[in-house]
A and B are shown apart, each in its own frame.
Chain A
Amino acid sequence: MKVAIFSTCVVDLFFPKVGQAMTEVLERFGCDCYLPENQICCGQPTYNSGYLKETDKTLHNEIDSLLSVDADYIVGPAGSCVAMLRSYKNSLKDDPEYAQKAAELADKSYEFSQFLYRVLGVVDAGAQLDAKATYHRSCHMTRLLGEATAPFVLLDHVKDLEMTPLPNIQNCCGFGGTFSAKEPEISQTMVDEKVDSVLSTKAEILISADPACLMNIGGRFSRRGEKIKIMHIAEVLNSNVDVKRIKYKKDIEKVEQ
Chain B
Amino acid sequence: MGIATSTKPFVERVEEAKKDKFMQASVAKAQDAQWDKREAARKELGNWEQWRDLGEQIRQHVIKYLPDYLEEFADNVEKKGGHVFFAKTDQEATEYIKDLAVKKAVKKVVKSKSMVSTEIDLDKELMKLPGVSVMETDLAEFILQEDNWDEPTHIVFPTLHKNRDQIQKVFEKLGYTGSNEPEKMAKFARKYLREYFLQADMGVTGCNFAIADSGMINLVTNEGNADLTMAIPKTQVVVMGMERIVPSLKEAEVLDNMLSRSAVGQKLTSYCSFSGKRTDDESDGPDDFHVVIIDNGRSNALGTQFESVLQCIRCGSCLNVCPVYRHIGGKGYGSIYPGPIGAVLSPVLDGYEEFGDLPYASSLCAACTETCPVRIPLHELLIEHRHVMMDKLHTDHSLTNTIMKTIGVGTGSPILFKSAMFGANTASKVVSHHDHDSVAGFLYETGRIGKLHKPVPKFARGWTDIRDLPQPAKSHENFRHWFKKHKQEQAAKGGK
Binding site for B on A (CB under 8 A): 5, 7, 9, 11-20, 23, 32, 35, 37-41, 43, 45-58, 60-61, 65, 139-140, 143-144, 168, 170-172, 174-191, 193, 211, 214-216, 218-223, 225-232, 235
CA distance in complex: A153, B53 (Å): 30
- A16: contacting residue among B28, B449, B477, CB under 8 A: B477
What's the least CB distance linking B431 to chain A, in Å? Answer: 14
Residues of B within 8 Å of A231, CB to CB, are: 445-446
Task: Determine if B365 is an interface residue (Cβ-Cβ < 8 Å).
Answer: yes
The 10 closest A-B pairs by CB, nearest first: A176-B363, A50-B386, A54-B408, A57-B412, A219-B467, A19-B479, A172-B365, A181-B462, A139-B365, A50-B390
Q: Known interface pairs A43-B411, A50-B383. Does A189 touch B327 (Cβ–Cβ under 8 Å)? A: yes
**Quick check: B11 and A182 within 8 Å, CB to CB?**
no
| Contact (Cβ within 8 A) A50 B385 | yes
Q: A23 near B483 (CB under 8 angstroms)?
A: yes
A88→B391 CA distance, assembly (Å): 19
* B323 and A171 within 8 A (CB): yes
In the bound complex, what is the Cα–Cα distance between A232 and B412 (angstroms)?
27
New A-B contacts (11) at CB < 8 Å, excluding given A176-B362, A179-B362, A235-B445: A32-B496, A46-B407, A54-B412, A58-B412, A61-B414, A181-B460, A187-B363, A189-B328, A219-B468, A225-B440, A227-B443
**Complex: chain B residue closest to A64, CB-CB:** B414
Determine whether the beta carbon of B479 is less than 8 Å from that of A16: yes
The stretch that binds A, out of B181-189, B227-235, B366-374, is B366-374
**Inter-chain contacts of B412 with A (CB < 8 A):** 40, 54, 56-58, 60-61
Contacts of B466 in A (CB 8 A): 184, 187-188, 191, 220, 223
Indicate whether B96 reaches chain A with its CB closer than 8 angstroms: no
Bound together, the chains give a CA A92 to CA B285 distance in angstroms of 56
Chain B residues with Cβ under 8 A from A188's Cβ? Answer: 466
B361 within 8 A of A: yes
The answer to whether A11 and B479 touch (CB under 8 A), given A32-B496, A185-B11, A227-B441, is yes
- B439-496 CB contacts (< 8 Å) to partner A: 439-447, 449, 459-463, 465-473, 477-483, 486, 496
CB distance from A243 to the nearest CB of B (A): 17
A12-B421, A50-B383, A54-B404 as given contacts; A229 in contact with B479, CB under 8 Å: no
Known contacts A57-B412, A223-B468, A16 near B405 by CB under 8 Å: no
In this complex, what residue of A is CB-closest to B32?
A: A168
Instruction: Given A171-B326, A186-B361, verify A49-B404 contact (CB < 8 Å).
Output: yes
Contacts of B362 in A (CB 8 A): 176, 179
Most B Cβ at <10 Å: residue of A9, A51, A221 = A51
Instruction: Report whether A222 and B478 are in contact in the complex, using a CB–CB cutoff of 8 Å.
Output: no
Q: Residue of A at shortest CB range from B389? A: A50
Contact present for A170 and B447 (CB under 8 Å): no
**Chain A, Cβ-Cβ closest to B425:** A13
Is B283 among interface residues, defined by CB-CB distance under 8 A? no
B198 within 8 Å of A by Cβ?
no
Tell me whether chain A's interface is mostly helix, strand or loop, or mixed.
helix
Interface centre among B14, B326, B412, B460 (most CB of A within 10 A): B412
Please measure, in the bound complex, the distance between the C-alpha atom of A179 and the C-alpha atom of B364, giving whole angstroms: 9
Instruction: Assess whether B462 is in contact with A15, with CB atoms less than 8 Å apart.
Output: no
B192 within 8 A of A: no
Contact call A51/B468, Cβ cutoff below 8 A: no
Nearest residue (CB) in A for B441 is A227
B35 within 8 A of A: yes
CA of A184 to CA of B463 in the docked complex: distance in angstroms? 7
Listed in ascending order, the chain B residues whose CB lies under 8 Å from chain A are: 11, 14-15, 18, 24, 28, 32, 35, 321, 323-324, 326-328, 360-367, 369-370, 383, 385-391, 400, 404-405, 407-414, 417, 421, 424, 439-447, 449, 459-463, 465-473, 477-483, 486, 496
Determine if A49 and B390 form an interchain contact, defined as CB atoms under 8 angstroms apart: yes
A176-B445 Cα distance, complex, nearest whole Å: 22
Task: Closest B residue to A20 by CB, please name it.
Answer: B482
Among A13, A20, A49, A190, the residue within 8 A (CB) of B324 is: A190
A237 to chain B, nearest CB (A): 14
Tell me whether B442 and A221 are in contact (CB under 8 A). Answer: yes
Q: Are B363 and A61 in contact (CB under 8 A)?
A: no
Chain A residues with CB below 8 A from B459, complex form: 181
Other-chain residue from A18, A19, A32, A186 in contact with B327 (beta carbon distance below 8 A): A186
A149 CB, nearest partner CB in chain B, Å: 16
Cβ distance B426 to chain A, nearest Cβ, rounded Å: 13
Q: Can you sample 17 A-B contacts with CB below 8 Å?
A: A13-B421, A15-B473, A17-B447, A18-B479, A40-B411, A41-B417, A48-B364, A50-B391, A57-B409, A58-B412, A140-B365, A140-B366, A143-B369, A177-B364, A185-B15, A227-B441, A230-B443
Residues of B within 8 A of A184 (CB): 461-463, 465-466
Which residues of A are found within 8 Å of B496, using beta-carbon distances? 32
Q: Please tell me if the beta carbons of B462 and A16 are within 8 angstroms of each other in the complex.
A: no
CB of A190 within 8 A of CB of B363, answer yes
Instruction: Give the one of B370, B414, B479 with max A CB within 10 A.
Output: B479
* A12 B445 Cβ-Cβ under 8 A: no
| Interface pair B467/A191, CB less than 8 Å apart | yes
Q: How far is the CA of A207 from the CA of B442 in the complex (A)?
A: 15
Given contacts A174-B363, A182-B400, contact A14 B445 (CB under 8 A): no
Q: Known A14-B447, A54-B408, A181-B460; judge A222-B323 contact (CB<8 A).
A: no
With contacts A185-B11, A188-B466 known, is A9 near B324, CB below 8 A? Answer: no
Q: CB < 8 Å: which of A7, A47, A223 contacts B479?
A: A7
| Interface pair B467/A216, CB less than 8 Å apart | yes
A contact residues around B469 at 8 Å (CB) = 215, 219
**Which residue, A39, A170, A228, has most C-beta atoms of chain B within 10 A?**
A170
Contact of A61 among B28, B323, B413 (CB under 8 A): B413
Q: In the complex, are the beta carbons of B364 and A176 less than 8 A apart? A: yes
Q: How far is the CB of B306 from chain A (nearest CB, A)?
A: 14
Interchain CB contact under 8 A, A7 and B363: no
Residues of A within 8 A of B32 (CB): 168
